[in-house]
Chain A
Amino acid sequence: MNQRPSFLLDGAEVPFEPGQTVMQAALAAGRYIPHLCYHPEFTPHGSCKLCTARVNGRLMAACTTPAGIATEVESETEELNDLRRTLVQMLFAEGNHFCPSCEKSGNCVLQALGYDLGVMTAGFRHLFPDRPVDASHPEILLDFNRCILCELCVRAAREVDGKHVFSLAGRGLGKHLIVNAESGRLVDTDVKVTDKAVEVCPVGVILRKRVGFATPIGARRYDQSPISAQALADAPRPLERNHD
């Protein structure tokens, strides 16, 4: 009899396939680990650290940690969720996130995570960076105010669109999203409104123009159910296999 390998996640057994990460195995098993820069269609990145879990006693990013090295994983603990709330607060404080007038509100992963994790206060003094909007492209708006440096657009352009439209430049607090054009303007890149990179932004940085608030309140993605439930609903399911 073939026994599928597994690890314990918060005390529950989670089977995994060879090559899977802790995150992939957990989601496939119907177990949610909060995450932000992880996306099932792209190479794991491990930068946002929202998915940090205690793997065999060490803090590690669940999205990049091979399931094969894990024996015991802790995720749903007050200590880890406190850290996650702090990370979300820092992301809000670093940019200019004005949810009340943002068209991404209700469809925004950062906002949905804030609600799901129970972030109740700003926590940090806002930095209010000066980040001008790039509205040069006729079909796409770039609002850098909301960028959280997740690089989903970078990965989507590279891995799906086969282009190099977006990148990160600078270091530390000066790190920022740039586009691949001498002018620095989106209109001078080869981006198309149909590109995967345009649809994948989890916050309101890359937007199709003139869509705005077309979706009424109540019908937006996270009006329906919290992000934790939707992440599980969207997760790839393992193929049924005969264990005998």
Chain B
Amino acid sequence: MSTLPLETAAHPEQLRRVVIEPLSRVEGHGKVTLLLDEDGHVEQARLHIVEFRAFEKFIQGRPYWEVPVMVQRLCGICPVSHHLAACKALDQVVGATTLTPTAEKIRRLMHYGQILQSHALHFFHLSSPDLLFGFGSDVARRNIVGVAAAYPDIARQGVLLRKYGQEVVRHTAGKRIHGTGSVPGGVNKSLTAAERDELQKDIYQMIAWSRDAVRLVRKLFEQDLATYRSFGTFEARTLSLVRADGAMDLYHGGLRAQGADGGMIFDHVDYGHYWEQISEEVKAWSYMKFPYLRALGHENGWYRVGPLTRVTRCDFIPTPLADRERREFMAFDDGRAALSTLGFHWARMIEMLHAAEAIKDLLHDGDLLGTDLMTDGKRQARGVGVIEAPRGTLIHHYRVDENDQVVRANLIVSTTHNNQAMNVAIREVARQYLDGRTLTEGLLNHIEVAVRAFDPCLSCATHAVGRMPLAVELLDADGSVADSMTCR
């Protein structure tokens, strides 16, 4: 049995069970269960991922060149991440150890376009209602429609930022969602001058709006510093890619892991042998595995990935505006904002600004119009591709036989890395806000606010369409429903 605080109650049969299902305004389907004693004290809190996917199994036997297009169907929000991570792995299989400049830059442009649209979607559409109206505010307006009514300029900017990112993806991948632009060994198209000119037209506006978004989060912190500093905050080890010179690089780099105190656990590790550093634990109550650093073991080796890790653990951001914002973030509140769970939002907007700046730089690079798109080399049987997806480090690992068929696949997606960290965050919030109190929808939303900070993609949510109502049931110890509440 786990000894992690609040993970497993000693005598669950005596406790009341509260279920938050489904979690709303997150990608995919999950639920949170709380076990409370008769005085309302939280004895157990768990984030459960209730979907079962089988991508690693059903791509076995498929030709390797089909994989980057197939596996991106894991997700409707960040398909480019899976598309590119798979291609990076299969580049190695076809022996393309170094891509042509045009191919690498087109892929980077595609990736930054996705970072921009995904971060805009998460902040403006999914999280800003909590942050602008309050975590326990009227649920009827705590949504993007409410934001559009109360803050029309902010909502409009969010929509247009996302649209711009989607257009970058369309011009590089062929479609806004689930394109085919990246192929093992390179890309299947570059930009035309007309496409480049179209994207150049609006990029400076996108940079300005991204900067405004960073400032907006800072203002939110300033308005309620005590809450933002402590809400669901915990100490965590971290994992991310960094460039050889320590810079943030969302497309490629070596693995860096640090302790909660910033001490280096490992740095610039070749991800081609990631399994020597990372392993995964299975727990009976969740379909999602729990990765951990091998050196520290499964109880103590869990870590956090994503924007907050990347922004605070890189040595610098290689675009000037984003790096200036990073330094301000790191210094704010004597460095405590950079440790807070809600600091995810601030870091995410800094990354969005970085993505916009990087897109601007690429759009002024002549290689984007090049025609040398493909390369290859000595065939390999195995390939590992790692990329920093919007939600964190993403690992794709394939083995391909001599007939070109995939015989084994292992994917460790960003949200999986954050599994334990999210569980710790909700336990912290449960302890801070719910313990011993009468539960209301607003209080339970605090749990969801903590989950949303990580921007989890619970299924890598391909088919999460339609309304996702929040249904809360209060069950007696014998399992019968004592009270229920449904918010649509």
Contacts and interface: CB of A to CB of B under 8 A. Distances in A.
Contact of B73 (A101, A133, A210, A216): A101
A209 interface: yes
B343 to A, nearest CB: 37
B415 interface: no
A136 interface: yes
A214 B466 CA distance: 34
Given A213-B180, A216-B180, A132 B69 contact: no
B380 interface: no
A157 to B, nearest CB: 22
A23 B181 CA distance: 38
Interface in A133-147: 133, 135-136, 141
A132 B61 contact: yes
A103 interface: yes
Q: Could you tell me the dominant secondary structure of chain A's interface residues?
A: loop
Interface string A10-44: 00000000000000000000000000000000000
A141 B183 contact: no
B286 interface: no
Given A212-B183, A216-B180, A217-B179, A136 B73 contact: no
A103 B66 contact: yes
Interface in B146-172: none
A100 interface: yes
A218 interface: yes
B138 interface: no
Contacts of A214: 183, 188
- Between A102, A133, A210, A215, the greatest number of chain B beta carbons within 10 A of the residue's beta carbon is seen for A210
A15 B28 CA distance: 59
A208 to B, nearest CB: 11
B62 interface: yes
A217 B175 contact: yes
Contacts of A217: 173-175, 179-180
Contacts of A219: 189
Contact of A101 (B70, B184, B403): B70
Contacts of B179: 217
B63 interface: yes
B87 to A, nearest CB: 10
Interface string A157-174: 000000000000000000
Given A133-B63, A136-B403, A101 B188 contact: no
Interface residue tally on B, bucketed by range: 20 to 34
A103 B73 CA distance: 14
A210 B189 contact: no
A100 B183 contact: no
Contacts of B180: 213, 216-217
B433 interface: no
A210 B188 contact: no
Contact of B405 (A98, A133, A213, A218): A133
Nearest to B462: A100
Contacts of A103: 65-66, 69
A102 B73 CA distance: 12
Contacts of A209: 63, 404
Nearest to A143: B63
B310 to A, nearest CB: 30
B125 to A, nearest CB: 24
Nearest to B187: A216
A141 B62 CA distance: 10
B65 A212 contact: yes
B175 A212 contact: no
Contact of B65 (A98, A132, A210, A216): A210
Nearest to A103: B66
Contacts of B189: 216, 219
Interface in B402-457: 403-405
Given A132-B61, A133-B61, A133-B62, A216 B174 contact: yes
Contacts of B183: 212-214
A217 to B, nearest CB: 3
Contacts of B63: 133, 135, 141, 209, 212
B460 to A, nearest CB: 15
A207 to B, nearest CB: 8
Contacts of B181: 216
Interface in B166-203: 173-175, 178-181, 183-184, 188-189
Closest 7 CB pairs of A and B: A217-B174, A212-B65, A101-B70, A135-B403, A216-B189, A213-B180, A216-B188
